[in-house]
Amino acid sequence: MVDRMLWLVFIILILWAIAMHFIWKDNTHNPYKVNPNSVALSFDDGPTPPYTSEILSILQQNDVYATFFVLGKNAERYPELVLKAYKEGNAIACHGVNHLDLTTATKEQVESEVLGCKKIIEKIIGKSPICYRPAFNKITPTVQKYIEEQGMVIIKVEIDSTDWKHTDANSIVNTTLSLIAPQSEITMHDGTSESENRSTTVKALPILIQKIKKMGLDVSRICYP
């Protein structure tokens, strides 16, 4: 009888340990950090047709997700692209309304840029964004504090793919690969206006994803609660 009780206690302890393992594992999810053994992929300045749609197709074909730091003015103009990206499992975050330099903006301009973008995203996807990337990767402590008070964390550019200046896909890929490490965050672009040609980004993207996977790394997203 004692032996049976001991076995029962032993089994209960094992089951409890297993349960705690999975609970702990779930609670370690941090939406603001890149998963271990992964690199995060993000796109700034969009959405802009046809490039955002083409990027979304490439992400789906390669079974990966990304984070889109959208401009409010573009999201308002192409809400269907923002909603499509979100419904396909990608994260949607703020990049301002008009790509304004927040280090030289007035208090009123900062509020309009930050809250304007946040409200536009909320209207489209029905949820509040949890991350904000400042235009030109520039911000002051005062503005950062204000943005954080609005419930968003600042996510700056870590690895610049330089797709905004290169016209050759291989240059974009090689520049990016030379800088990545596990838990890096890569920034590419799918905007800012229809006059900008992002076809080189579209061409580089599938090559980059496949090369990252060959390095034994996954491609993931940040700012996805």
| Cis check: omega of the bond before 47, within 30 degrees of 0 | yes
How is residue 90 written in tokens?
């990608």
Query: What's the pTM?
Result: 0.86
- Indicate the average pLDDT of the chain: 89
**Can you give the pLDDT at residue 195?**
64
pLDDT digits (tens, 9 = 90+) for 91-144: 999 999 999 999 999 999 999 999 999 999 999 999 999 999 999 999 999 999
**Can you give the pLDDT at residue 35?**
87
Q: What is the Cα–Cα distance from 181 to 185, expressed in whole angstroms? A: 9
Report the candidate in 156, 153, 175, 172 with the shortest Cα–Cα distance to residue 164: 172
Report the candidate in 19, 2, 130, 4 with the shortest Cα–Cα distance to residue 67: 130
Mapping DSSP to helix (H, G, I), strand (E, B) and coil, where does residue 31 land? coil
Q: What residues are labeled active site?
A: 44, 189
Q: What is the Cα–Cα distance from 127 to 94, expressed in whole angstroms? A: 12
- Residue 222 identity: I
pLDDT-above-90 percentage for the chain: 79
Does residue 26 surpass a pLDDT of 80? no
**Can you give the pLDDT at residue 18?**
42
pLDDT digits (tens, 9 = 90+) for 49-80: 999 999 999 999 999 999 999 999 999 999 99
Q: What is the Cα–Cα distance from 202 to 141, expressed in whole angstroms? A: 35
Contact in structure between 71 and 193 (CB atoms under 8 Å): no
**What is the CATH architecture of 31-220?**
Alpha-Beta Barrel (3.20)
Handedness of CA 123, 130, 53, 199 (dihedral sign): positive
**Can you give the pLDDT at residue 76?**
98
**Can you give the pLDDT at residue 20?**
37
DSSP character string of 140-197: -HHHHHHHHHTT-EE---SEE--TTT---HHHHHHHHHTT--TT-EEEEE--S-TTS-
